[in-house]
């Protein structure tokens, strides 16, 4: 569904009309879609409301052949967000509160995990750990603990960009979810998490090297991304010395939806470390 909306300047006058698209999204959706395109078998675990948005998400996952275990909450609406981009490309997001996924119970998580035949990695979005007062927080910890007990590797996505305001370092995250195998982040977010630099610093390959070296003291593998001119750069680094760099052109603003997740899925087998080089990619990635 396409809507018209207005953007106002600080002075309050209406300055620009711009199209607004109402489409399925979110970290889990974009990551799972990208993982599927790159040969993996993703499964999304979460909760939706008994509403139009929930049905749209379910249909999108089904149409995209993306596995899903979605609990339906009759009391809460499906989570929604309005995302806009400033003239500099900076993203602004307004997310709903009291959404169905915030009420995801440990029981629903256990039932979903028990119904799956097995998987190589669990992907956890940092956003799910930013609301400690919701049932989701406990559910995320439960699924992470179950993964650790089963020897499944945990991949952690450092989002939102201000994630360091919720957790001060990597050990504090691991204290909540258990051992982190792979950490994925925009370079500025990772540097804030490590207490490095400042918000206005110019991002360079040297800073990427510095950040990756420090992260690999705490995790087995890391993927870092940053913008450089008209390019989006990404590098996967592992403790055993693997280095794989990608560079892609930055798409126009609407093309940025899930763009970082797509790049990460290009190196997902290297990040997970579950598939020897040269062999077909298989297995499951569970995304919460």
The CA distance from 80 to 67, in Å, is 21
- The rounded percent of the chain whose pLDDT value lies above 70 is 81
Distance from the first to the final alpha carbon of the chain: 26
Question: Residue 21: pLDDT above 80?
Answer: no
Predicted pLDDT at 162: 86
Q: Which residue has the higher pLDDT, 111 or 42?
A: 42
The CA distance from 188 to 198, in Å, is 9
Pick the range with the lowest mean pLDDT from 85-99, 135-149, 218-232. 85-99
- For residue 42, the surrounding DSSP H or E stretch is strand 41-49
Tokens 């204290």 map to which residue?
Answer: 175
Pick the range with the lowest mean pLDDT from 100-109, 164-173, 183-192. 100-109
Sign of the C-alpha dihedral computed for residues 126, 132, 135 and 141 taken in this order: positive
Question: Residue 167: pLDDT above 90?
Answer: yes
Coil, helix or strand at residue 234 = strand
- The rounded percent of the chain whose pLDDT value lies above 90 is 38
Residues 6+ apart with CB under 8 A from 116: 43, 69, 284, 286
Alpha helices in 73-231 (DSSP H): 106-115, 135-149, 170-177, 187-193, 205-215
Question: Residue 255: pLDDT above 70?
Answer: no
- Can you read off the two tokens belonging to residue 55? 């049905």
108: left (phi over 0), alpha (psi -120 to 50) or beta: alpha
Question: Residue 2: pLDDT above 80?
Answer: no
Nearest CA to 54 out of 70, 33, 66, 36 is that of: 70
- Can you read off the two tokens belonging to residue 282? 């298989």
- Strand ranges (DSSP E) for 166-278? 182-186, 221-228, 231-238, 243-249
- Strand ranges (DSSP E) for 67-175? 67-73, 81-85, 91-95, 121-125, 153-157
- For residue 285, the surrounding DSSP H or E stretch is strand 284-287
The string of pLDDT tens digits covering residues 58-96 is: 999 999 999 898 989 999 999 888 777 665 555 667 777
The string of pLDDT tens digits covering residues 31-63 is: 889 899 888 888 888 889 999 999 999 999 999
Tokens 């998400």 map to which residue?
Answer: 57
Predicted pLDDT at 104: 77
Q: Which residue has the higher pLDDT, 251 or 262?
A: 262
Mean pLDDT computed over every residue of the chain: 81
Instruction: Say how many C-beta atoms besides its own lie within 10 A of residue 102's C-beta.
Output: 20
Question: Residue 210: pLDDT above 80?
Answer: yes
The CA distance from 180 to 221, in Å, is 9
At residue 11 the predicted structure's pLDDT band, cuts being 50, 70 and 90, is very low
DSSP 2-41: EEEEEEE-TTS-EEEEEEEE----SHHHHHHHHHHHTT-E
Question: Residue 141: pLDDT above 80?
Answer: yes
Predicted pLDDT at 230: 85
Nearest CA to 46 out of 95, 111, 94, 91 is that of: 111
């Amino acid at each position: 569904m396409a809507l018209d909306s207005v953007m106002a300047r600080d002075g309050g006058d209406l300055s620009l009309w711009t199209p607004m698209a109402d489409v399925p999204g979110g970290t889990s959706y974009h990551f799972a879609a990208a993982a599927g395109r790159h040969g993996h078998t993703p499964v999304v675990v979460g909760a939706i409301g008994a509403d139009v948005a929930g049905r749209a998400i379910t249909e999108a996952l089904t149409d995209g052949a993306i596995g899903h275990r979605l609990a339906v909450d009759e009391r809460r609406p499906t989570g929604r967000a309005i995302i806009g981009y400033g003239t500099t490309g900076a993203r602004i997001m307004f997310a709903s509160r009291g959404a169905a996924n915030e009420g995801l119970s440990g029981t629903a998580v256990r039932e979903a995990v028990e119904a799956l035949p097995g998987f190589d990695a669990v992907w956890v979005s940092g956003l799910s750990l930013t609301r400690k007062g919701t049932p989701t927080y406990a559910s995320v910890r439960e699924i992470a603990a179950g993964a650790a007990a089963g020897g499944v590797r945990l991949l952690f996505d450092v989002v939102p960009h201000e994630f360091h305001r919720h957790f001060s370092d990597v050990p504090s995250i691991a204290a909540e979810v258990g051992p982190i195998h792979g950490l994925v982040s925009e370079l500025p977010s990772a540097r804030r998490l490590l207490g490095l630099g400042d918000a206005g610093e110019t991002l360079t390959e040297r800073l990427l090297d510095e950040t990756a070296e420090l992260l690999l003291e705490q995790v087995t593998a890391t993927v870092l991304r940053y913008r450089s001119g008209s390019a989006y750069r990404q590098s996967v680094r592992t403790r055993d010395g693997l280095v794989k760099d990608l560079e892609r052109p930055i798409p126009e603003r609407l093309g940025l939806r899930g763009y970082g997740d797509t790049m990460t899925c290009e190196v997902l087998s290297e990040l997970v470390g579950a598939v020897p080089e040269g062999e077909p990619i298989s297995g499951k990635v569970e995304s919460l």
